[in-house]
Structures are given as C-alpha cells and as structure tokens.
C-alpha cells in the first residue's frame, strides 16, 4: 500500500454528543488536572486554571477535549475515584457551554458515570477494558464514544517489560479482543476507536515500530487515535527535555496520519492542527494521483 492510500473506511465516530466526521483529522486537546503528569503536572490542578486551559484549547482548534484526573505516566500510583472526580469536575461541567465534546480519561466506572451525567460524551480507557469491563456497559447504555488503548500491565509497572515477539501483532490482537468485549457488552462498532498506546509498555524503538506499522492496525476497520505528545521516546531519540519535543511530536503525528490515524491526542493543539491539516492535503493529493494513474493505466489496455 503506497503512502496516502491507507484505507479510511471508518470515516465517522459516534459519541454522546453526536457523530464526529473523520473526513478531516481530529485533534484531541490534552488537559491534565493532576499534580504529577509527566509534561504539565500541577499546571492545571486548580479549577480556575483548568477551566482557562479548556477554553484556550478550544481557541487553538481542538476538536475534542480530553480531561484526566489520574496520571498515567510510567510509575504513577492510582488515586481514589472521589479524588479523581473532584479534579476533573470543574472542566467536565463546562460541557454544555463548550462547542466541542469532552472526553474523560479514566479507567473507573464510577468516575465515568459521573462525567457522563455532567455532559461528557466520550470515555478514554487506557486499559482497553482490562481494569473495568463495565465501562463498555456504560458506554453502550449512554451512547458514548469509547477509546480502547493498548497498555501492558499498569502505569506503575508498564515499563518493566517492553520486550515483544511481534509488537504490532500483539497490540492488534489485544485491541481486537477488547473490541470483541465491547461489542458483546452492547457497544456498536461506530462508537469505538483504537489506540496503540505509544509510550505505554513499549521501548523507544518499539514506539517507532508501531508508527511504521500503523497500517496493520488499520485492518481492524476502526478509527485510530495516537498520542505521541511530548513522550519520553521523542526525548530519548532526539536528546530533548519535555518542553522541547514539539517538532518530534509533529513528526510522529504526520507519520501516523500517513499510516491511517485520524485522531491525534496532543498538548500543543495549534501547532499540530496546522501540521496535520497540511499533511492531510498532501495525503489527499497523493491518493488522488495514485487513483488517476490506475485509471489511466487501465484505460490504456485492450
């Protein structure tokens, strides 16, 4: 399959706020209301700062706002559901006023239920239903979008073992099983998005392999979300601290778009928005020229 010719059969995503078109790439703005996230821990812990950040991400061009109250950085310890909810509540309660849907990054059914009650439209589960399969029941009954992400182990231990026999094969197999679980619990395929989990139980080279082999994940026939934003693998490969990883983030997003990704979860929304919009235009031109070449070739045969 040539670059730009990735199958984009999954062209929409059904969420609690309606159906989102994937004809153009969607940028998912990250908002961590935690004291210990790897990139911006503590910056938006206070409600006023979190609310201000939410509106700034909208202004920068985010299509979805993803808010989380529990850090999932390597080595992170879990937090109680009540504390997680208190951290994200001020942002989630903005839902009726925001022009874009809110996604909640949680693995806990009780937090997810409160968020949906307050107006959230999407559940982002980094465990792909391993921690709490009832998240799928909740998504099914509420009509919420559901992101299923691959992670080996849990955040506290996920980097202890990053060796795989066939990395993409194992990631795709685990996500296919999560999709089956979600469907058995009542979710429609139109509600589901898969995420290969860059940085979650993978080596730096493993993350590059996932990006290079992304078209294999596209064979699941579901929209793909990637989250390379400011990740450690960018810093390790380029020798850069967290705050200097924007260019690496953009490069990873563009390569993921070429490989079939349609959703990009990032901190730097404005810059990534511009980059993926331009890359999408190039992808369309490439696909169009390839199709024209096939038609011309066929027309010349007798």
| Orientation of helix 47-60 relative to helix 269-299, angle to 10° | 30
Q: Which of 202, 230, 265, 283 is catalytic?
A: 265
User: What is the four-CA torsion angle of 139, 78, 157, 235, rounded to 10 degrees?
Assistant: 90
Check 109, 231, 245, 273 and give the catalytic one. 231
Our answer to whether residue 108 is catalytic in this structure is no
Distance, C-alpha 281 to centroid of its chain: 21
Nearest to 279 by CA among 257, 246, 264, 247: 257
C-beta pairs of 285-292 under 8 Å, 24+ apart in sequence: 285/4, 286/2, 286/3, 286/4, 286/5, 287/4, 287/5, 290/2, 290/4, 290/5
139 contact partners, CB below 8 Å, separation of at least 6: 123, 145, 146, 182, 187, 191
b vs e for 135-170, b when ≥16 Cβ sit within 10 Å of the residue's Cβ?
bbbbbbebbbbbbbbbbbebbeebbeebebeebbee
Picking from 186, 195, 67, the residue whose alpha carbon sits closest to that of residue 134 is 186
Instruction: Determine the 3-state secondary structure of 81 from DSSP.
Output: helix
Q: Report CA Rg, the chain.
A: 19
| Active-site residue set | 231, 265
């Amino acid at each position: 399959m040539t670059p730009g010719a990735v199958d984009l059969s999954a062209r929409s995503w059904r969420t609690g706020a309606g159906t989102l078109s994937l004809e153009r790439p969607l940028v998912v703005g990250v908002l961590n209301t935690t004291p210990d996230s790897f990139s911006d821990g503590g910056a938006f812990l206070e409600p006023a700062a979190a609310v201000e950040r939410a509106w700034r991400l909208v202004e920068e061009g985010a299509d979805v706002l993803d808010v989380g109250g529990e850090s999932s950085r390597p080595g992170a310890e879990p937090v109680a559901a009540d504390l997680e909810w208190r951290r994200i509540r001020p942002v989630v309660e903005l839902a009726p006023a925001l022009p874009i849907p809110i996604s909640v990054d949680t693995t806990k059914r009780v937090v997810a239920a409160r968020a949906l009650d307050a107006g959230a439209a999407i559940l982002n589960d980094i465990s792909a239903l391993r921690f709490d399969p009832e998240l799928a029941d909740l998504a099914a009954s509420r009509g919420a979008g559901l992101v299923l992400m691959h992670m080996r182990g849990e955040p506290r231990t996920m980097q202890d073992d990053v060796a795989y026999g066939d990395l993409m094969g194992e990631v795709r197999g685990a996500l296919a099983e999560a999709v089956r679980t979600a469907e058995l619990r009542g979710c429609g395929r139109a509600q589901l998005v898969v995420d290969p989990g860059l940085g979650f139980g993978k080596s730096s080279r493993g993350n590059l392999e996932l990006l290079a082999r992304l078209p294999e994940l596209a064979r699941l026939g579901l929209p793909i979300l990637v989250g390379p934003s400011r990740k450690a693998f960018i810093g390790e490969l380029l020798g850069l601290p967290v705050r200097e990883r924007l260019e690496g983030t953009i490069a990873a997003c563009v390569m993921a778009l070429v490989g079939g990704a349609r959703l990009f979860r990032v901190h730097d929304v404005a810059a990534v928005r511009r980059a993926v919009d331009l890359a999408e235009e190039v992808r369309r031109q490439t696909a169009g020229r390839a199709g024209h070449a096939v038609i011309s070739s066929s027309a010349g045969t007798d």
